Structure 1
Amino acid sequence: MWPGLLVEWQQGDGGWLGRVTYALAGPHGPVLVEAWVPAALLEQR
């Protein structure tokens, strides 16, 4: 699990999805990742 920022909601055929961004360590420095994640896997902190 990584902390990230929820930037958008979208309702899909299987339910709600959140577009999230988060940073990971890459071989040449931080890498920004953007992904659609099922709402059931998101948790507020």
Structure 2
Amino acid sequence: ILHGFSLGGHMASLAFTKWPDPSPRQFYKNKASQTFYDYLRERN
């Protein structure tokens, strides 16, 4: 699970630098929960 979250965080930080968007935090939150749900799906 930690590996999945660090990967999602890495992708989100790449997006931070590429897109100085008004809502990068929202993107990060979506990416983190998407990674988390993917992890849960793989476990079951």
TM-score normalised over the length of structure 2: 0.25
| Larger strand percent | 1
Q: With a CA cutoff of 8 Å and minimum separation of 6, indicate the structure with the bigger relative contact order.
A: 2
TM-score normalised over the length of structure 1: 0.24
Larger Rg: 1
